Amino acid sequence: MSIAKKARVAETRTKVRSARNRDRLIGLVSPLALIVLWELCVQSGAIDARFFPAPSQVAVKLVALVVSGSLWTDTAASLTRLFWGMLLGGIPALLLGIVMGLYRPIRAVFDPLVAATYPIPKSAILPLILLIFGLGEASKIVMVATGVFYPVLINSMAGVMEINKIYLDVGHNFKASRWQVFRTIALPGAMPLIMTGIKLGVGLGLILITIAEMVGANSGLGHMIWNAWEILSVETMYVGLIVIALLGFLFSLALTELERWLVPWKTAH
């Protein structure tokens, strides 16, 4: 590469990077602006502090909960359940989704089952899951798993089916085995949509873990929020909401980074 060309490449890279940094900055500033506005509204008496405590009051509560260690215990409990639920639901969904995308007969078997069970609200099966798995950790993990399972499955399958047929022809012509087709074509080819599925799944998982913990748990962020309602500690409810929102935000950041790393040929554009 000539020096001029190198400089040009470096210049466009810098441009891309600064645009990316700008997007990240905006992503941080917009929620902060909302918090400031809220504080002003409460201070001026424009909104009722009993229902919408000022961010400063919530912050005081947050510090208190951090100091007492209970916030950390609850967050850790939720995260652990979320993690195992993701694995329990995500990995089978990924494998089944790709296999369904690749092989028509397998799709014919599972497609109606997926279509029939997918629309059931996952929160509606919580009582059944509590009945089957009891009040312990298993029921929470299974709840998360059911939420993660469908978006990952459906997106993995769609991802494989959207792979240009010519790539499968190449695999066939170059004598790739079934496993090689799976690993070198189906999995990377479907990866952009699989990542979409995982993002949706994490979001749903967060919703479901909160619901599950409200009903049958004595730890976790959902339990913390429900407990706060019972003792009318509105600030604690907000702390719980903020932590959940923050977790969702961090997950989405982490998954975007993961996507850049796993799908360099798409995100490099």
Burial of 140 (0-12, 13-18, 19+ CB in 10 A): buried
Smallest distance, another protein to C-beta of residue 47, A = 51
Compute the least distance from the CB of residue 97 to another protein, in Å. Answer: 18
Terminus-to-terminus CA distance in the chain, angstroms? Answer: 20
Cα(172)–Cα(121) distance, integer angstroms: 41
Q: Which is nearer to another protein, 200 or 263 (CB)?
A: 263
Given the complex with another protein, which of 41 and 170 has the nearer CB atom?
170
Q: Which amino acid is at 215?
A: V
The pair of structure tokens assigned to 116 is 């029939």
Nearer CB in complex with another protein: 186/239: 186
Task: Find, among 209, 241, 200, the residue nearest to 81 by Cα.
Answer: 209
The CB-of-189 to another protein minimum distance in angstroms stands at: 7
Residue placing its CB nearer to another protein in the complex, 235 or 259: 259
Least gap, CB of 183 to another protein (angstroms)? 11
Least distance to another protein, CB of residue 225, Å: 42
Shortest spacing between CB 64 and another protein, in angstroms:
49
To another protein, the closest distance from the beta carbon of 87 in angstroms equals 24
| Cβ proximity to another protein, 50 vs 175, nearer residue | 175
Block residue for tokens 């078997």 = 109
The length of the chain in residues reads: 269
The most distant pair of C-alpha atoms in the chain lies apart, rounded to whole Å, by 73
Our CA angle for 185, 101, 183, nearest 5°, is: 25
* Sequential DSSP letters for 88-147: HHHHHHHHHHHHHHH-HHHHHHHHHHHHHHTTS-GGGGHHHHHHHH-SSHHHHHHHHHHH
Q: Which is nearer to another protein, 145 or 190 (CB)?
A: 190
Q: What DSSP character marks residue 124?
A: G
Binding site for another protein (CB under 8 A): 1, 166-167, 169-177, 180, 184-185, 188-189, 191, 263-266, 268-269
CA 37/CA 23 separation, integer angstroms: 22
Query: What CA–CA distance (Å, rounded) separates 73 from 213?
Result: 14
| Gap between the Cα atoms of 133 and 185, Å rounded | 38
Name which of 186 and 217 has its Cβ closer to another protein.
186
